[in-house]
Amino acid sequence: MLNKFLAALSLCVLITAKFHAQERDKVADSTVLETILLKSSALENTALQTPAAVNVIEETSLKSGNTQLLTEKFNTYPGIFVQTGALNTSKISIRGIGSRAQYGTNRIKVYFNEIPITTADGQSVLNDFDLNAIQKVEIVKGPNASLYGAGLGGLVQLQSKIPTANFTEVKTAIGSFGMRKNIVQAGFTEENKNGIIAYTNLDNDGFRENSEYNRSSFFANLNVLTKNKNKLSFVGNFTHLKAFIPSSLSRAALEENPKQAAYTWKKAKGYEAYDRFLMGVSYTHHFSEKIKNTSSIFTNWRDAYEPRPFDILKEKRWGLGARTRFNYKDSFARLPTKISLGAEALYEDYDQENFENLYEDFPDVGSVRGGLINNLNQERAYWNLFGQAEIRLSEKWKLSAGLNFNSTQYQLSDFYNQDENNQNGSYAFKNIWSPRVAAAYFITPQKTLYTNISKGFSVPTFSESLTPEGKINTSLKPEIGWNYEIGFKGTWFSKLYTEINLYSIQVSNLLVAQRVAEDRYVGVNAGKTEHTGLEWIFSYTWNFGENLKLKPIFTGNFNHYRFAEFVNKDQNYDGNKLTGVPKLKWNLGASLSWKKLRLHANYLAVSKIPVNDANSVYTNAYEVLDLKANYLLPIFQNFEMQLSAGIDNLLDTNYSSSFVSNAVGFGNSEPRYFYPGMPRNFYAGINLKYLW
């Protein structure tokens, strides 16, 4: 793997050297990145002007691979690592933050436009949103988003698709292992309003036992503009999902037959099923050329049922929240200044019931609900106050400072234990102030050197707070982290884009998941970690005439993540590698466009990964090659057809696409760490679009 990495790096160096030799006499720099306005900035900055590491994934990049999951292309960007155990089991870590989550994404704030997707206890499920509804994704790495909650790992901002013409479209795709995806959507645009509505259904039989998957979703987005630039927006998304769970395998089972499900999950026919709804209304009002306000109200609910071998979990969650943000721009002492101030509040009510699973008493039937064994309610609320200011000191210098204040409270009601052992009462985490300072030096208008220092936090999730007895550990503390970063990003003669940054994040009150029974964990604050890393992006655009364009891209990250102070159950892990993160990850991709044809290739390489804190068990390093082709075929003046086909894992690599940290074997069983990755698979699709 190292030799291949050095070869890819050498190729980039040669391209850069050749490029400079040919064009060193040119002086005009330009790139589309100059005009990419970041929604996550809120102060109307472009990507090049922002003194932070921000990855912008445009719609063309999102759809350059398999489109079953929204997060499919995230792994091609540096510092971001996505594990996909199944279509319904994925987790995202940014710069190692979130790597120790067991079955989902936490410690990262996620927004859809101005609407938070992240729950009040910090959990996010991105793949409930179909890729078809998304126009662009912005990922801010590290706790640099003061205006969006100062999440310890960073921010993921999803932006809804806005139609540019009136259309009706039907899409269908089929693939290996019974994959079937169908989309029906329509959109309109007029002088002062636009909107889109879509229905999506995804079915997949799965390549493993007990891994059937079905997801249906409805999406709607409506925008109304007034003559004085004010804007009213509505967004709504409903998801119905039922997904069977094959769970993780031991190394021996993985090598014997990766298609098998874990024995108990297969016998119980374990699955998760839920309905989820998110809706929000936002209004942007311009008071003057200098002042504007954007305010949102939003609601969400989720009704879930999950039979597992050890119990049956029934959940209900609903929430209501609001957000407001004022933006002001003017000049002070002749220095251009931008200021943003605002607040966000979210209230959620969460009910959890656990029942016995009697599947062993009913062979071949699957899960059978037994008696109630736990019944908890948690009402959790947070409110954030935030502010950020930027001042342009000169043509070359810009300073930025931000501050986020968080207050989080929760109330517990135990309806199962009504004796003196119940924990009924109100609790609160300590209030947290999260400052940020940053500076940017503009070497030229297209080349930026920046640095920043920021603080972020993450509160424990509900599942991390549960004890083995089903109680809530009220002594848990939020994780706190400080991020230190320096970086460069710039374009060279409108063809070459380069970005490189060096960072270090110091995390205290590390939350550790301890396994106490089969597939059951508890969280404890157990230490400190140091996350030091290097990230890079090199992309180049070749234009061969008007119709032919080639764009190779080389991205990657090299990490040195360690436990600084970590003693768990009398075991000292100081100096060990952080569990769940590869030391090296790099990606080499290329897109070729010729007239109506688009070809995409992507080669991802991931080094071995420690899966326990003792660093005694690792995944194998792996490399995966994906290919895709699209062809746009105009049929009539207002009617077009697009054909697509692709191959994922062309080399048929055997690898673990996800894993369970610190798995423990019970009895004589081997620990079940590994989720097998998809073998070689094929897909093809057809889109029919009518413009009216």
DSSP letter string over 621-663?
PEEEEEEEEEEEEEEETTEEEEEEEEEESTT----EEEE-TT-
Q: Who's near 5: CB < 8 A, 6+ residues apart? A: 556, 584, 586, 605
Say which CATH topology domain 37-691 has. Maltoporin; Chain A (2.40.170)
Query: Rounded distance, CA 405 to CA 67, Å?
Result: 38
Least confident of 366-370, 395-399, 421-425, 596-600: 421-425
Q: What is the pLDDT of residue 522?
A: 67
Q: What's the pLDDT score for residue 339? A: 96
Q: For residue 25, what pLDDT is reported? A: 38
- DSSP 8-state class, residue 348: E
Give the lowest-confidence range in 330-344, 470-484, 531-545: 470-484
d(CA 479, CA 531): 14
pLDDT class for 475, splitting at 50, 70, 90?
Answer: confident
Q: Is the pLDDT of residue 114 over 90?
A: no
Percent of the chain with pLDDT over 70: 91
In this model, does residue 7 exceed pLDDT 60? Answer: no
CB atoms within 10 A of CB 183: 23
Poorest-pLDDT segment among 388-402, 406-420, 443-457: 406-420
Q: Where are the beta strands (DSSP E) in 526-621?
A: 527-540, 542-544, 548-568, 571-572, 584-594, 597-606
Indicate the pTM of the whole model: 0.91
Q: Are strands 154-160 and 109-112 parallel, antiparallel or unpaired?
A: parallel
Measured distance CA(270)–CA(275) in Å, rounded: 17
pLDDT digits (tens, 9 = 90+) for 227-237: 888 999 999 99
Dihedral class, residue 128 (left if φ above 0, else alpha if ψ from -120 to 50, else beta): alpha
**What is the average pLDDT across 469-482?**
82
150 SS3 class: coil
What does the pLDDT read at residue 666?
A: 75
DSSP 366-434: ---EEEEEEEEEEEEEEEEEEEEEEEE-SSSEEEEEEEEEEEEEEEEEESS--STT---EEEEPPPEEE
pLDDT at 615 exceeding the cut of 80: yes
Average pLDDT over residues 400-412: 95
| pLDDT (0 to 100) of residue 16 | 46
| Of the listed ranges 292-296, 436-440, 541-545, the one predicted with least confidence | 541-545
**Mean pLDDT confidence for 189-205:** 95
Q: What torsion, rounded to 10 degrees, do the Cα atoms 250, 356, 91, 64 define? A: 90
Instruction: Write out pLDDT tens, residues 225-279.
Output: 988 889 999 999 999 999 999 999 999 999 999 999 999 999 999 999 999 999 9
Residue predicted with more confidence, 526 or 424: 424
Split at pLDDT 50, 70, 90, the class of 21 is: very low
Amino acid 567: pLDDT: 82
Helix (H, G, I), strand (E, B) or coil at 107: coil
What confidence score (pLDDT) does residue 26 get? 40
Is the pLDDT at 30 greater than 50? The verdict is no
pLDDT, averaged across the chain: 90
pLDDT at residue 521, as a whole number: 61
Q: Tens of pLDDT along 308-318? A: 999 999 999 99
Per-residue pLDDT, 129: 92
Domain boundary assignment for the chain: 37-691
Decide: 504 and 484 in contact? Cβ < 8 Å: yes
- From 389-398, 507-516, 680-689, the region with the lowest mean pLDDT: 507-516
Q: Cβ distance 205 to 178 under 8 Å?
A: yes
Q: Is the pLDDT of residue 468 over 70?
A: no
Q: What percent of the chain has pLDDT over 90?
A: 73
Give the pLDDT confidence of 385-394 residue by residue, as tens digits: 999 999 999 9
Question: What is the mean predicted confidence (pLDDT) over 371-394?
Answer: 95
Express each pLDDT in 531-547 by its tens digit.
Answer: 999 999 999 999 988 88
**Per-residue pLDDT averaged across 597-609, rounded?**
97
- pLDDT at position 474, please? 78
State residue 17's pLDDT score: 46
Diameter over CA atoms, the chain:
82
Interval 51-90: pLDDT, tens: 999 999 999 899 898 888 888 899 999 999 999 999 998 8
The predicted structure's pLDDT at residue 29: 37
| Least confident span in 41-45, 193-197, 412-416, 425-429 | 41-45
| The two three-digit tokens of residue 365, written as one number | 């039937």
Query: Which pLDDT belongs to residue 191?
Result: 87
Half-sphere exposure for 402 (CA within 13 Å, toward CB) = 32
